[in-house]
Amino acid sequence: MPVSAAMPVATAAEPRLRISIRYKILVAIAATLLLAVGAYGYLAVELYTHDKLAYIYDANAATVAGASEEAASLLAVITKELHLFARDGLRPSASAKDRNNAVRDLFGLESDMLRLEIYAPSGKNGELRLDDSYVNKVALEATELAAADLRLLRKDKSVPFEALSGEVDVVLQNSSLPPGTAVVTLSCRNPNGKEVLVADLKHDRLLRVVAKARMHETYMVDDKGEIIAHPDATYVVGRRDVSANPLVKEALRGSVQQGVKEFVAKNGATFIGAFARVPRARLFVITQIPKAEALRATVELRNRTVLFAVGVLCAAFVVSIFLSRLLTSPIRRLRAATEIIGQGRFDIEVDVQSRDEIGDLARAFVRMGTTLRDVQGQLLQSEKMAAFGQLGAGITHEVKNPMTGIVSFAQLAQRKLDDKDKVLEFLKLIEKEALRCRDILVNFLKFARASTHDMEKVDVNGMVDNSANMLRHQLNINNVQLLTALGAGVPAIMGNAPELQQVILNLGINAQQAMSTGGKVTLATEKDAAGNAVIKVSDTGPGIPPEIQAKIFEPFFTTKPPGQGTGLGLSVSFGIVKAHKGTLGVESVVGKGATFVIKLPPAEVERKTPPPPA
């Protein structure tokens, strides 16, 4: 299974529900504001409703109290004028002319009075009978009634003689003649107790008493629940019976002078009303207002609160988007930087200017990158020294063989001084062996010293061959055979030879360490289809189980006992190959060994083609 370069970066498990900070901020702000505006709006509407209802109750009570007083004084004025008439026109000594004068005076004062009737006791039992009747022609002219119509006024309503007793001074009756004129009939007794005076009045002055309030419907009813005065004249003309109205019912029950009541009308609407009795008359003033109408401002307040809340929410939406962008965009840049670090590149730059905690985090992050880069450099060096140390025996061995040769040939040459040809041959061999020593030492020295990242053209096969020379002895003394299979046409690459050698040494030593009972390690090179240089380090060891294949490139991952493994070899190698724009992967089947594959882009086309796919 090939392991891609991105594998070492651990991927966190996706949480089930992902809510971004942006939405969390939005929800938090919206919820807080909604709660605040909601609670405030609810309280305001509640208080306002409470206050408004109290006000309406008071206003109703005041309206009916005022209207009943006004009605009482109006009736008192008319009654007084009738009594004055009675005093002058009905005294026993009054002549017909006196009576006419008195009537004229009365009609002069009462321009609303259409007709006056006088009922006097007659016969043995003193039954009250119509005695005299006068028509006010001037007043009648102002209406659409004819004198003949006035006779119809008493058609279906008799004069309520019985009602005029005790507490009651005046009785009002609705005697309108539909469809025309609203007429109210007022009856009172002559203070001497004999005659009864009946005056038919235009409805106008009573109307003025009840037609004051606009929102409130104020009207007067008699003791049977029939409308006497109403701002809407059709109610009066139509002699509307409102006795079914719960408020009127309560007023007619007659136990109290005045009261307030909330009730549901026949059409289902709730009303708030009040009633008051007009003193010394069988008359009630009623006022009522639909509760919805009374609380219209409350509804308006509620609607505006909702509108306000919506407005505030919209504003909060905009603000929170702005805020969260401010907050999350540096976080996103940090995340991108984290990913770069995850890929092993530590030269990060995070463009976060803010002076807040996120800015601090970004700066700390950049510092961390720098530190990591330094530490990586140190790791590289220490791994190299470790490899160098492990190869110390190899150096000794490699140098010891040619040295032995040099020494032997030098001794042989001394003995054969006379044989010029032999000496020349031995000197050539000495030179060859000495050059080999120099090569080995120079190579090791290069490897040990080099720490620069200088890139130069590297011959892959030569570099692998050098690595094989360095490894060979270390492997041989551990019973591991080293084989090389250098392919033809492997392209040269741009790179740092000592660093690449270190990678091959790391892989070779790992392979040897994996095969405690011995085996084979093969260093092979080839050119792949894409033209890359490929270096394969394979072994015949136990292989790497799939579950740890993904982890072996992580720093400090090791399966070796403490003191034997640092877990850094593969991670450092991975970093080096990556810096060469190449890939390092592993293919392994448990029990059948492991093959580490390095792919490096060729030098010539490096600038033209993208790096090989991971």
Ligand X SMILES: Nc1ncnc2c1ncn2[C@@H]1O[C@H](COP(=O)(O)OP(=O)(O)O)[C@@H](O)[C@H]1O
**Which residues bind to ligand X, rule: CB under 6 A?**
506, 510-511, 514, 539, 541, 544, 552, 557-560, 565-571, 594
Under 8 Å CB-to-CB from 267, ≥6 apart: which residues? none
Binding site partner of 304, from Mg ion, ligand X, none, Cβ cut-off 5-8 A by kind = none
CA-closest candidate to residue 503, choices 440, 460, 550, 545: 460
Q: How far is the CB of 398 from Mg ion (least distance, A)?
A: 22
Binding site partner of 541, from Mg ion, ligand X, none, Cβ cut-off 5-8 A by kind = ligand X
Candidate segments 78-86, 495-503, 510-518, 576-584, binder of Mg ion by CB under 5 A: 510-518
Residue 125 or 564 with smaller CB distance to ligand X? 564
Residue 286 or 598 with smaller CB distance to ligand X? 598
Q: How far is the CB of 468 from Mg ion (least distance, A)?
A: 18
Q: How far is the CB of 452 from ligand X (least distance, A)?
A: 24
Residue 531 or 567 with smaller CB distance to ligand X? 567
Candidate segments 163-171, 367-375, 414-422, 504-512, binder of Mg ion by CB under 5 A: 504-512
Binding site partner of 560, from Mg ion, ligand X, none, Cβ cut-off 5-8 A by kind = ligand X
Binding site partner of 238, from Mg ion, ligand X, none, Cβ cut-off 5-8 A by kind = none
The token pair that represents 270 in the structure block? 């709730």
Beta bridge partners of 113: 201
Residue 305 or 558 with smaller CB distance to ligand X? 558
Q: How far is the CB of 345 from Mg ion (least distance, A)?
A: 23
Residue 365 or 557 with smaller CB distance to ligand X? 557
The token pair that represents 522 in the structure block? 């093969």
How many residues belong to the site for Mg ion (CB under 5 A)?
2
Q: How far is the CB of 9 from ligand X (least distance, A)?
A: 16
Q: How far is the CB of 582 from ligand X (least distance, A)?
A: 18
Residue type, 444: F
- Contacts within 8 Å (CB) and 24+ apart, 14-21: 20/328, 21/324, 21/327, 21/328, 21/331
Give the distance from CA 143 to its chain's centroid.
70
Give the distance from CA 555 to its chain's centroid.
43
Q: How far is the CB of 488 from ligand X (least distance, A)?
A: 26
Q: Is 525 in the site for Mg ion (CB under 5 A)?
A: no
Under 8 Å CB-to-CB from 142, ≥6 apart: which residues? 202
CA-closest candidate to residue 52, choices 215, 246, 264, 268: 215
Q: How far is the CB of 556 from ligand X (least distance, A)?
A: 8
Q: How far is the CB of 419 from ligand X (least distance, A)?
A: 53
Structural contact between residues 460 and 493, judged by C-beta atoms closer than 8 angstroms: yes
Would you call 520 helix, strand, or coil by DSSP?
strand
Residue nearest to ligand X (CB): 569
Beta bridge partners of 128: 121
The token pair that represents 114 in the structure block? 């259409």
Residue 56 or 386 with smaller CB distance to ligand X? 386
Q: Is 394 in the site for Mg ion (CB under 5 A)?
A: no
Among 344, 394, 569, 575, interactor with Mg ion by CB under 5 A: 569
Residue 87 or 578 with smaller CB distance to ligand X? 578
Would you call 542 helix, strand, or coil by DSSP?
coil
Structural contact between residues 115 and 134, judged by C-beta atoms closer than 8 angstroms: yes
Q: How far is the CB of 463 from Mg ion (least distance, A)?
A: 20
Write out the H or E segment, with its range, that includes residue 577. Answer: helix 569-579
Q: How far is the CB of 11 from ligand X (least distance, A)?
A: 20
Residue nearest to Mg ion (CB): 569
Please give the Cα distance from 576 to 222 (Å, whole number).
111
CA-closest candidate to residue 258, choices 237, 240, 243, 273: 273
Q: How far is the CB of 594 from ligand X (least distance, A)?
A: 4
Q: Give the end-to-end CA distance of the chain in Å, rounded to a whole number.
A: 13
Please give the Cα distance from 222 to 174 (Å, whole number).
8
The token pair that represents 217 in the structure block? 């419907």
Q: Is 173 in the site for Mg ion (CB under 5 A)?
A: no
Binding site partner of 495, from Mg ion, ligand X, none, Cβ cut-off 5-8 A by kind = none
Please give the Cα distance from 73 to 95 (Å, whole number).
32
Structural contact between residues 280 and 73, judged by C-beta atoms closer than 8 angstroms: no
Binding site partner of 499, from ligand X, Mg ion, none, Cβ cut-off 5-8 A by kind = none
- Greatest C-alpha distance within the chain: 200
Q: Is 575 in the site for Mg ion (CB under 5 A)?
A: no
Please give the Cα distance from 388 to 393 (Å, whole number).
10
Structural contact between residues 486 and 464, judged by C-beta atoms closer than 8 angstroms: yes
Residue 63 or 510 with smaller CB distance to Mg ion? 510
Under 8 Å CB-to-CB from 287, ≥6 apart: which residues? 60, 63, 64, 67, 213, 216, 217, 218, 219, 273, 274, 275
Would you call 538 helix, strand, or coil by DSSP?
strand
Binding site partner of 37, from ligand X, Mg ion, none, Cβ cut-off 5-8 A by kind = none
DSSP-assigned letter for residue 149: G
Binding site partner of 411, from Mg ion, ligand X, none, Cβ cut-off 5-8 A by kind = none
DSSP for 321-336? HHHHHHHHHHHHHHHH
Q: How far is the CB of 471 from ligand X (least distance, A)?
A: 13
Residue type, 282: R
Residue 175 or 501 with smaller CB distance to ligand X? 501
Residue 490 or 511 with smaller CB distance to ligand X? 511
Among 245, 510, 540, 573, interactor with Mg ion by CB under 5 A: 510
Residue 175 or 510 with smaller CB distance to Mg ion? 510
22 to 81, contacts with Mg ion by CB under 5 A? none
Please give the Cα distance from 397 to 392 (Å, whole number).
9
Binding site partner of 567, from ligand X, Mg ion, none, Cβ cut-off 5-8 A by kind = ligand X
Q: Is 512 in the site for Mg ion (CB under 5 A)?
A: no
Please give the Cα distance from 344 to 576 (Å, whole number).
10
Burial of 69 (0-12, 13-18, 19+ CB in 10 A): middle
Residue 444 or 574 with smaller CB distance to ligand X? 574
Q: How far is the CB of 485 from Mg ion (least distance, A)?
A: 23
Binding site partner of 566, from ligand X, Mg ion, none, Cβ cut-off 5-8 A by kind = ligand X
Residue 167 or 547 with smaller CB distance to ligand X? 547
Residue 133 or 559 with smaller CB distance to Mg ion? 559
Binding site partner of 552, from Mg ion, ligand X, none, Cβ cut-off 5-8 A by kind = ligand X
Residues forming the site for Mg ion (CB under 5 A)? 510, 569
